[in-house]
């Protein structure tokens, strides 16, 4: 059955605008976009849902998240000054304190938060990928869940790779029309070179999307360039030999085959011009996570240069452990303001406007995940992944241009409706697919588990391998 969704403004993509417009949906697809009058006469029997003073636009893409870590929101504030300690505390809490059901609830709660903020699609990195895939499916979002692989000891590369291959075989059964699997060698400091090469070959042979953290922190740069710092010391303590290659993370990933997989690279804070040319030439994509990078003190990724070079870039919240929200409108505003605030970026104010931000939030994110033929714009034949955002609040009126109002005045809390593949996931203040009240209560219980004493640990799991 055809349904019409109407609003004062329709933004089929970042550069087009229809006043008093409508979108016609049938099953999971957009079948027409145009003026309200045209579509009402074209589909006279279709029920009409009108959002009034609001914009209907493609759903937001969160190109880099860790939904299973949602329970860590606000848990690691004291460790933020030391990235290695931060990662270690997080990894131990996840592996040794959270049960499989805790991880499921944490991921589902993250998906709820995302749906409420207008996110229709995520690129999610997960150590417990089947759990995150289930959570995403239950909440009704689209996404790729990248199964993480760890292991800095080159002598264990084959063993670790075999484990990843087994996990991938098992994860195939969790794939749906909306949720796909990918793989993620965690980071250059946590996965050895031979393991990277095995994973890269596997990704190409199996046509699996690959995501990796890259060029994120000073500690990582020290590790790669000089062989010093917290990551190098950690390997030395574990008796793992590390000879710094003396090159950047991006060149290192190119050397070990990762760039050949056209990966999605999260962060890319510490990149020079040669690195960006390498990324562009390889057809790699970037998940730009400005709030996480700022909160952890990692610095600013050169977003303006990514755009100038025509690199495919989407925004990522990263985990809420380092953000502390998944609000892509806030992320986009922060990205634009941080980039404009960077001294020496010529013409940044003119180049980095609301349209650029909206493009990165929608089609940019779709390209980052390789979904650009399916979603990212409201066009005939695309998947009906769309949202309605109220634009009539005290913080939004008067409104000269809806794009400007969205990026510079609005937040995820203004989202009225989130739809994925034609199905409303969030509407009238409620997520419609799962029991939010039960999950909220469970999240409060998990807080107690995460902060409990070591001895009370319920789960026996392998030691962190970072
Ligand atoms: Zn991350």
Mean pLDDT of 405-432: 98
Which pLDDT does position 92 carry in this prediction?
A: 85
Ligand 1 center from residue 266 Cα (angstroms): 7
Q: Percent of the chain having pLDDT more than 90?
A: 88
Which pLDDT does position 410 carry in this prediction?
A: 98
Q: Which domains does the chain have, with CATH numbers?
A: 2-58+378-431 (2.30.40.10), 60-368 (3.20.20.140)
Q: Which of 16-30, 280-294, 332-346 has the lowest mean pLDDT?
A: 332-346
Ligand 1 center from residue 319 Cα (angstroms): 6
Ligand 1 center from residue 256 Cα (angstroms): 21
The answer on pLDDT for 282 being more than 80 is yes
Which pLDDT does position 406 carry in this prediction?
A: 98
Give the model confidence (pLDDT) of 50-65 as tens digits.
Answer: 999 999 999 999 999 9
C-alpha 54/C-alpha 118 separation (Å) is: 13
Ligand 1 center from residue 292 Cα (angstroms): 9
Mean pLDDT of 228-246: 94
CA atoms within 13 A on the CB side of 208: 27
Which pLDDT does position 402 carry in this prediction?
A: 98
Ligand 1 center from residue 438 Cα (angstroms): 27
Mean pLDDT of 16-31: 98
The answer on pLDDT for 455 being more than 80 is no
Ligand 1 center from residue 63 Cα (angstroms): 10
Three-class secondary structure of residue 112 per DSSP: helix
How sure is the predictor about 346, in pLDDT bands with cuts at 50, 70 and 90? low
Ligand 1 center from residue 392 Cα (angstroms): 35
The two tokens of residue 204 are 């190409």
The answer on pLDDT for 459 being more than 50 is no
Give the model confidence (pLDDT) of 92-119 as tens digits.
Answer: 888 888 999 999 999 999 999 999 999 9
Ligand 1 center from residue 187 Cα (angstroms): 9
Omega into 324 within 30° of 0, i.e. cis?
yes
The answer on pLDDT for 456 being more than 80 is no
Task: Tally Cβ neighbours within 10 Å of residue 246.
Answer: 11
Ligand 1 center from residue 360 Cα (angstroms): 18
Which pLDDT does position 82 carry in this prediction?
A: 87
Helix axes of 193-206 and 157-171: crossing angle, nearest 10 degrees? 30
How sure is the predictor about 464, in pLDDT bands with cuts at 50, 70 and 90? low
Q: Average pLDDT, whole number, for the chain?
A: 94
The answer on pLDDT for 460 being more than 50 is no
């Amino acid at each position: 059955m055809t349904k019409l969704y109407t609003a004062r403004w329709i933004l089929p993509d970042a550069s087009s605008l229809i006043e008093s417009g409508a979108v016609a949906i049938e099953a999971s697809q957009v079948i027409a976009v145009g003026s309200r009058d045209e579509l009402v006469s074209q589909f006279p029997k279709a029920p009409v849902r009108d959002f009034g003073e609001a914009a209907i636009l493609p759903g937001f893409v969160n190109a880099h998240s860790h939904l299973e870590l949602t329970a860590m929101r606000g848990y690691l504030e004291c460790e933020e000054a030391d990235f290695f300690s931060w990662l270690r505390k997080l990894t131990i809490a996840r592996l040794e304190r959270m049960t499989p059901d805790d991880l499921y609830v944490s991921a589902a709660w993250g998906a709820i938060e995302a749906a409420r903020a207008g996110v229709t699609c995520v690129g999610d990195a997960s150590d417990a990928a089947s759990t995150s895939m289930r959570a995403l499916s239950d909440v009704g979002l689209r996404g790729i869940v990248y199964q993480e692989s760890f292991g800095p000891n080159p002598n264990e590369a084959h063993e670790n790779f075999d484990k990843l291959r087994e996990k991938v075989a098992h994860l195939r059964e969790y794939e749906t029309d909306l949720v796909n699997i990918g793989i993620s060698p965690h980071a250059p400091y946590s996965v050895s070179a031979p393991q990277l090469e095995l994973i890269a070959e596997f990704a190409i042979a199996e046509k699996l999307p690959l995501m990796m953290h890259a060029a994120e922190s000073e500690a990582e740069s020290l590790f790669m360039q000089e062989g010093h710092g917290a990551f190098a010391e950690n390997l030395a303590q574990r008796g793992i030999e590390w000879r710094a290659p003396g090159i950047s993370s991006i060149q290192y990933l190119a050397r070990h085959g990762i760039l050949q997989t056209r990966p999605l690279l999260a962060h890319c804070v510490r990149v020079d011009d040669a690195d960006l040319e390498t990324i562009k030439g390889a057809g790699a994509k970037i998940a730009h996570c400005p709030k996480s990078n700022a909160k952890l003190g990692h610095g600013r990724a050169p977003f303006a240069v990514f755009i100038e070079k025509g690199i495919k870039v989407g925004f990522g919240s990263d985990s809420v452990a380092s953000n502390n929200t998944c609000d892509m409108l806030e992320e986009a505003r922060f990205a634009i303001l941080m980039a404009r605030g960077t001294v020496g970026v010529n013409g940044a104010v003119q180049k980095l406007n609301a349209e650029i931000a909206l493009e990165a939030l929608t089609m940019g994110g779709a390209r980052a995940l390789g979904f650009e033929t399916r979603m990212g714009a409201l066009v005939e034949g695309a998947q009906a992944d769309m949202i309605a955002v109220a634009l009539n609040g005290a913080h939004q009126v008067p409104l000269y241009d809806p794009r400007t109002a969205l990026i510079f005045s609005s937040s995820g809390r203004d989202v009225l409706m989130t739809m994925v593949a034609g199905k409303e996931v969030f509407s009238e203040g409620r997520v419609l697919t799962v029991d939010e009240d039960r999950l909220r209560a469970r999240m409060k219980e998990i807080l107690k588990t995460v902060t409990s004493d070591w001895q009370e640990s319920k789960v026996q799991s392998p030691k962190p391998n970072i």
